[in-house]
Amino acid sequence: MGTQIQDSRDHMDIYTNLNDIPAPFPKAAVTIGNFDGVHLGHQILFSEVVSKAYRNKGVSVAVTFEPHPLKVVRPDIGLKLISTAEQKKELIALANIDALIILPFTREFADTPAETFVDEILRKTIGVQDLVVGYDYAFGKSRQGDIPFLKEQGRTKGFTVSVVEPYYVEGMLASSTRIRELVGLGKMVDVKKLLGRYYQIRGEVRMGQQRGGPLLGFPTANLTIAEEDLCPRLGVYVTQVIYDGKCYGGVLNIGYNPTFEGQKLSAETHIFDFNQDIYGKPIKINLLRFLRGEKKFSGPEELAAQISQDVADAKKVLADARQEIKLSCEEKYNR
């Protein structure tokens, strides 16, 4: 049976246009960043901002950009994002930030001099009193707005600048770049350590090839993985599936279905103890553990036998981590 979870949302004001901000925020504690993945390093930034705002009876503000700046200034590198824009908003809200400002990032905006950004956006529009940034943050044309620049601006223009040092977990730096690498390697246990939660894919269930149930005996829910999405290592994963406020165990295959000469990348999840029609419905899938790489089998019988083994292995993983998984299901970012 699925586990029922309650739904609630922390209130956060979201602005996608600076002209919609009626007046500078009182005693604003501000952080700026791309915040892809909203990992533990980002969460420390938010915690510091919320703390400063609380102490000063002010407002906590996060400033981010859409699309990710590297997609505009370096489209050639094909950056894959850990979280969608929607996920990022949800996760920042859970950090108890009062206001999120999402600045549209264009090539023209990229040419904004750092001092103009400080004067026109941080001071005049937002009303910064305390600024909190990560150890490697820089912004503005040619990345002029580095930490020495910000500290000098703060000293001469009347706002404090705090720098949050790099955060490590078991020797691993909590950074978006490192997390992308780990997702690509299928190292979901390490990814969870740096995110502070399971890595999640989400989308609407699509009609697949209809092989899972009729041919193999294991019906699957199919999600399309878009070209711009960060794709985990191809293979089979133990999963936690969230649908309609309930959590279920499952086993997921990400790949091209080589046994059937597949050409299209897909994510197919067999959900345990589940028999609802969910075509067109949204689901979320947490990736708990990588089980094995994708492989071409001799035919449906050999594949079905392997899936049976995958299901048994997945159920053992889920049973061994029952308490941790139950807690994860109850956490707010799975609702």
Nearest-CA neighbor of 50 among 77, 29, 23?
29
Q: Is 268 a catalytic residue?
A: yes
CB of 254 within 8 A of CB of 231?
A: yes
Show Cβ contacts of residue 13 under 8 Å, excluding neighbours closer than 6 positions: 98, 99, 100
CA 74 to chain centroid: 21
Dihedral of CA atoms 118, 72, 62, 116 in degrees, nearest 10, equals 10
Nearest to 36 by CA among 65, 73, 60: 65
Q: Is the dihedral of CA 26, 160, 88, 90 positive or negative?
A: negative
Distance CA 240, CA 317 (A): 11
The one catalytic residue among 108, 181, 228, 268: 268
Three-state DSSP at 255 gives strand
Burial 108-123 (b: 16+ CB within 10 A, else e): eeeebebeebbeebbb
- CA distance linking residue 313 with residue 217, whole number of Å: 17
Q: Which of 188, 213, 193 is nearest to 291 (CA)?
A: 188
Distance of CA 230 to the CA centre of its chain: 10
Catalytic machinery residues:
268
